[in-house]
Amino acid sequence: MISFLNRKNTNNWLEGCLPFVSKSPEMKIRWLTRVFRKGILSQEEITPYIRLLLAEKSGEEQGQLKQAFSELDVEMQYRFLEAADIYDTPKLFALCPNPTLRHAEIALLKKVPPYEKKTQLILDKIFYAISDHSRGMLEQAADLLIKEGKASANFKENYARFQEILQDEEFLLSLYPNARG
C-alpha cells in the first residue's frame, strides 16, 4: 500500500474520495464513528458496513483493525456491537480490548433471524466469544438477562445446553490433556 495512505491525517482529501471497501481499517473505523456521531444512517443501514469492516483480512490488517478498535471509547464500542448483526457479533466482541458486562449483554440480546436453520450454532459462536474472554462474565450476563426478563423465549434452554457442552469439553480435556486444539 502507498505510504501516504497510512498517515493519521483526518483531513486527508483522499480519505473522502476512496470508496469504503478500499479504505484502511483505521479509515473505515473513523468513517463509521463519524456516521454514528452525526446520525446520518440508521443501525440497520450501518450493518453492511460493519460486515465489510470485519471481512476476512490478512494478519497485518487484522492487527490494524484490533488496534483501531481498541482506541475507540467504550460507548462507541457499544454502538458498533448494537449495529452489527448476529453473524458479526462474535468477531466484533473479540476485537474489544476489555469487554464489560454491557458488551456481553448487547451480544446476548441479538436476535437470530427467523429464516436461520442453524440457530444453535450461531448462538454457540456468541457464547464461545464471551466465554473465551471470561466464563464468569458469560454467567453474569446470562443470569442478568434471565432475571430481568430480557432474554428470548428459548435463551434459557440454549444457555443450559451450552453449559453442558463446556462441561463435556472439560471432561474430555481431563481425559486427553494433549487434545487441546
Give me the percent of the chain exceeding a pLDDT of 90: 45
The DSSP string of 138-160 is: HHHHHHHHHHHT-S-TTHHHHHH
What's the pLDDT band for 12 if we cut at 50, 70, 90? Answer: low
Confidence check: pLDDT of 108 > 90:
yes
Supply the pTM of this predicted model.
0.83
Average pLDDT, the chain: 85
> What is the reported pLDDT for 11?
53
Provide the pLDDT for residue 1: 38
Domain boundaries, the chain: 13-84, 100-181
The three cell numbers locating residue 94: 473479540
The answer to whether the CB of 94 falls within 8 A of the CB of 129 is yes
Q: What is the pLDDT of residues 31-67, one digit of tens each?
A: 899 889 998 888 899 999 999 888 877 778 888 888 8
* pLDDT value of position 21: 75
Q: Say which DSSP state 4 is in.
A: G
Q: Please write the tens of the pLDDT for every residue from 114-140.
A: 898 998 999 999 999 999 998 899 999
Cα-based torsion angle of the residue sequence 49, 159, 75, 133 in order, rounded to the nearest 10 degrees: -90
